[in-house]
Amino acid sequence: MKKEEASSTPTMGLQRLLSIQRNQQRRRRKILARNESAASANKQKGCSIPDLPEDIWRHIHSLMPMRDAARTACLSHSFLCSWRCYPNLTFNKYVFRPKAFTYGGDISHRIDSILGNHSGIGVKTLKLELSGTAYHNLDNWLQVAVTPGIEELTLMVCRLEITYNFPCALLSDGVRNSIRYLELGFCIFRPATELGPFRRLTKLHLQYVRITGDELECLLSNSLALEQLALIHCDHIICLRIPCVLQRFSCLRVHGCVRLKLIESKVPNLSTLDLSGKAELLLGETLQMKNLSMRHPNVVCYARSELPSSMPNIDTLALSSYDEVVNTPMLPTKFLYLKHLTICLSSGTFSPSYDYFSLVSFLDASPSLETLNLDVTNDPMKHESILGHSSKSHLRQMAEDHHCHLKNVEITGFSSAKSLVELTCYILKNSVSLECLTLDTLYPYDFRCSDERFERCRTMRIVF
């Protein structure tokens, strides 16, 4: 044993020596590599980057988010040049620190600094979302960034009092020839009648903007490529007229325009309408209408009575009523192509006599229906329950009418209201292709079993 130990000792010592030598060689190589990198950096006075054409590096830089692009410009002289021409400028709480943005801070100074060093050349997108931020230099910012070649402009100067007057002089011929998307919010917008055409404008969004119906109609007449229009709380519009020259126009969204009395459209290809309020509709051509969303009192009864004949090709229909006092009538007219139906009756002001079972009329009228979403999160205490004294009475039934395409049904706010249970039983009995039925018993702010903060589910509300 002693001889074996003695013979192994030189071998172990040799291995240890070789290991030490290898470690020393690795350390030398690492030190040499660091020295070479530092020398190269000192020669270039910036980051070491491959030798590529300037336009390629500028394109790569433009694909970075704005914060990353700014940080990269601080590290590389090559990127510093392209930063001065960075095309996608966004100023909002997501770009700056949220606290500094909320309380004002030096945001105005930062925007001054960025735009002061910007050439104004090559700006494609400008987003100024200035909630809680001073904007006394806003006109100067816009003059720097809104130049010919710009494609998207978003300006949201959120204030309780609308005082900022958007400078229409910025909309020069070059700007009007390039801009595709224009979104203005919380400002006064007075486009003059002599303002020339917007040749490439496809989307126009106005939110809390002071503009009259006549001014808007003139602007629309000069935007022959327009495809989408959204008006949110534009309270100075009484009549909205969409001229027939807008051959590409397909989508209209109008919400919260409280003084709006009339919507008149003569465009041939309107396919999507999202409307809240009770403005009168004069739609010349409705055969292309595929997607319709409406919100106003008694809209469910109105839709069942009027839409099958006026908009026969609807594919997707969403109805929201906060005061439905008339039951849905059974009528012979049909929604032959309706596939997706959403009905929201979520209000505590509903009459106790409202009959959910009358919604069978929509199922009877929609032979192609595939999905049904019903939101009935109103007060269930107002409706007769199957568990009360009336539980002895039989549930109403209708003649069997097999629905071959209905696959998914979801009822939110499900309760023991008798008419709602009758509707559910009808769906189960007649939907021969039904794959999924979801009965959600929770109100909008109830906790759910899937929420890890709560150990137990809330029980279903029972009406007595």
Q: What is the pLDDT of residue 461?
A: 47
Q: What whole-number distance in Å separates Cα of residue 211 and Cα of residue 220? A: 12
Q: What is the pLDDT of residue 269?
A: 95
Q: What whole-number distance in Å separates Cα of residue 70 and Cα of residue 34? A: 27
Check if the beta carbon of residue 358 is closer than 8 Å to that of residue 327.
yes
Q: What is the pLDDT of residue 2?
A: 45
Task: Please state the three-class secondary structure of the chain as a single string.
Answer: CHHHHHHHHHHHHHHHHHHHHHHHHHHHHHHHHHHHHHHHHHHHCCCCCCCCCHHHHHHHHHCCCHHHHHHHHHHCHHHHHHHCCCCEEEECCCCCCHHHHHCCCCHHHHHHHHHHCCCCCCCCEEEEECCCCCCCCHHHHHHHHCCCCCCEEEEECCCCCCCCECCHHHCCHHHHHHCCEEEEEEEECCCCCCCCCCCCCCEEEEEEEECCHHHHHHHHHCCCCCCEEEEECCCCCCEEEECCCCCCCCEEEEECCCCCCEEEECCCCCCEEEEECCCEEEECCCCCCCEEEEECCCHHHHHHHHHHHHCCCCCEEEEECCCCCCCCCCCCCCCCCCCEEEEECCCCCCCCCCCHHHHHHHHHHCCCCCEEEEECCCCHHHCCECCCHHHHCCCCCCCCCCECCCCEEEEECCCCEHHHHHHHHHHHHHECCCCEEEEECCCCCCCCCCCCCCCCCCCCCCCC
Q: Structure tokens of 421?
A: 């249970």
Q: Structure tokens of 236?
A: 């100075």
Q: What is the pLDDT of residue 381?
A: 53
Q: What is the pLDDT of residue 454?
A: 52
Q: What whole-number distance in Å separates Cα of residue 312 and Cα of residue 335? A: 6
User: Along the 464 residues of the chain, how does pLDDT read in single tens digits?
Assistant: 444 444 455 556 656 666 766 776 776 666 556 555 544 544 444 445 566 666 776 677 677 777 777 767 676 666 777 777 788 888 887 776 655 444 445 577 888 888 887 776 778 999 998 876 667 789 999 999 999 999 999 999 887 788 899 999 999 999 999 999 999 999 999 998 888 999 999 999 999 999 999 999 999 999 999 999 999 999 999 999 999 999 999 999 999 999 999 999 999 999 999 999 989 999 988 999 999 999 998 999 999 999 999 999 999 999 999 888 889 999 999 999 999 999 998 765 566 678 999 999 999 999 999 999 999 886 555 667 777 655 445 778 777 778 889 999 999 988 888 899 999 999 999 999 999 999 988 765 555 555 555 555 555 444 33
For the whole prediction, is pTM greater than 0.85? no
